Amino acid sequence: MDNRPVGVYDSGLGGLTVWRELRRALPGESLLYLGDGKNCPYGARPREEVRRLACQAVDYLIAQGCKLVVVACNTATAAAIDFLRERYPDIPLVGMEPAVKPACLHTRSGVVGVLATERSLDGELFRRTAARYGRGIEVVTAPGKGFVELVESDREATPEAEECVRRAMAGMLERGADQIVLGCTHYPFLMPVFERIVAGRDVTIIDPSPAVARRTAQLLDQYGLRAAPDHPPTYEFRTFADEAYRERLRAKAFADADTPAAR
């Protein structure tokens, strides 16, 4: 039994979509969330800069005693996950795998759409996954331009958000995509907008967060890292930004949640 926290890291608020799934799947585990905030968004930053920021964040979480770290940021995963695994061979690390595999396996039209940041779409991880599972499938990609900024400024429910998402999805829907992958952890905060846009169409929106939570549970079991059954979980939030941003992390994490307040 190991009562140390599970670390969760993102460029900002987006990884809270993964945090929520982890809390649901692992109700006995303490979670320490680090939302960079200071350097968000990552999507268009050079790969080496993203890797440096990711290393700084994971270094911090491990120094805080985290037993496992979830890199809940697609851009950071694409830029740094292999490097991080070499740097920390004794710490289980969970990254954001592009959910292209389930999309390709379940498509009926033979067309799959992928919405992600520019850096993620340009990453080796995405290209490798798309090449492996996308044979015979048309994979239509589009950067979610402005999506992260909308979420970071709490504008998910605005007409601006609707217009922005419609513009990004137009090409893939015109091509007949019936599976659309959300390749950034900020994007599920826009789920109501996605669902309105595909209403009446036979289209599935794929959020990879539940799969990440399942993988985290598997690794906790594999390495004997589960918390004790009587362990009262704690939820802490940290940032490289200011106290106001840390409070925003906490508030967004628990919006519409039934979990007691966090630190």
- From the list 40, 73, 104, 164, the catalytic residue is 73
Q: What's the pLDDT score for residue 43? A: 87
Tell whether 261 is covered by a domain. no
| H helix count then E strand count, the chain | 11, 9
Distance separating alpha carbons of residues 208 and 101, to the nearest angstrom: 11
Average pLDDT across the chain, whole number: 94
Q: How confident is the model at residue 258 (pLDDT cuts 50, 70, 90)?
A: very low
In this predicted structure, the answer to whether residue 162 has a pLDDT above a threshold of 70 is yes
Q: Is 226 found in the same domain as 140? A: no
In this predicted structure, the answer to whether residue 123 has a pLDDT above a threshold of 90 is no
Q: Is 240 found in the same domain as 197? A: no
In this predicted structure, the answer to whether residue 32 has a pLDDT above a threshold of 60 is yes
In this predicted structure, the answer to whether residue 98 has a pLDDT above a threshold of 90 is no
**CA 153 to chain CA mean position, Å:** 18
Q: Is 152 found in the same domain as 110? A: yes
Tell whether 262 is covered by a domain. no
Tell whether 46 is covered by a domain. yes
pTM of the model: 0.92
Tell whether 259 is covered by a domain. no
The answer to which of 70-74, 86-90, 128-132 has the lowest mean pLDDT is 128-132
Q: Is 49 found in the same domain as 67? A: yes
Q: Is 152 found in the same domain as 27? A: no
Tell whether 263 is covered by a domain. no
Q: Is 200 found in the same domain as 132? A: yes
The verdict on whether 73 is a catalytic residue reads yes
Q: Is 72 found in the same domain as 20? A: yes
Q: What's the pLDDT score for residue 259? A: 43
In angstroms, the Cα distances linking 246 to 33, 40, 239 are 10, 14, 6
Q: Is 141 found in the same domain as 172? A: yes
Q: Per the structure, how many domains does the chain have? A: 2
- From the list 66, 104, 164, 184, the catalytic residue is 184
User: What is the percent of the chain where pLDDT is above 90?
Assistant: 87
In this predicted structure, the answer to whether residue 178 has a pLDDT above a threshold of 60 is yes
Which residue is it, tokens 């907008």?
193
Which structural domain range is residue 23 located in? Answer: 6-96+209-254
In this predicted structure, the answer to whether residue 260 has a pLDDT above a threshold of 50 is no
The verdict on whether 184 is a catalytic residue reads yes
Which residue is it, tokens 């109700």?
27
Q: What's the pLDDT score for residue 134? A: 86
Q: What's the pLDDT score for residue 225? A: 98
Per-residue pLDDT reduced to its tens digit, 200-242: 999 999 999 999 999 999 999 999 999 999 999 999 999 999 9
What's at 43, amino acid-wise?
G
Domain with residue 193: its CATH number is: 3.40.50.1860
Q: In what order do the strands lie in the sheet with 93-94?
A: 93-94, 68-71, 6-10, 31-35, 235-239
